[in-house]
Copies of this chain bind each other. A is one copy, B any other.
Amino acid sequence: MVGDVFAADCRARIAFEVLANRWDSVVVFILGESGPMRPRAMLDRIGGISPKVLNQALRRLEYNGLVRRHRYAEAPPRVDYSLTEAGTALIGPIRAMGAWAAVYGDAVVSARDRADGL
């Protein structure tokens, strides 16, 4: 039943709000794959994202309770981020999306090209 997810109070729509941007799902994904990571490593891992934007994504994820920040009191500032329980539970659905992309990614590109060609 649809109501299960789209209750009148709209609370269940949070699933689609939380990741409704370009990078958050990517960050959750790599944290799920690689475990706790430092921002520098994430920047290397993800191509095409600036330090500032990555930080924005991490703050959003932290705000939503999907990511946790660890600060180590060391001379060169050291920090890493890890998934919370809620964040960890999300990597299943996200990997399912990744699997979908592996199958239908080309179809999407083709559809775009076709639409642009008109």
Specify which of A64, A65, A103 lies most central, judged by the most chain B CB atoms within 10 Å of its CB: A65
Q: Are B65 and A86 in contact (CB under 8 A)?
A: no
* Binary B-proximity of A20-37 (CB < 8 A = 1, otherwise 0): 111001100110011000
From B14, B21, B98, B106, contact of A105 by CB (8 A): B14
- Whether A101 touches B22, Cβ cut-off 8 Å, given contacts A30-B2, A63-B112, A112-B65, is no
Can you tell how many copies of this chain the complex includes? 2
| A104 contacts across to B, CB distance below 8 A | 85-86, 89-90
CA distance A109 to B65 in the complex (A): 9
Among A90, A96, A109: residue with most chain B CB under 10 A: A96
Interface residues of A in 72-113 (CB under 8 A from B): 85-86, 89-90, 92-93, 95-112
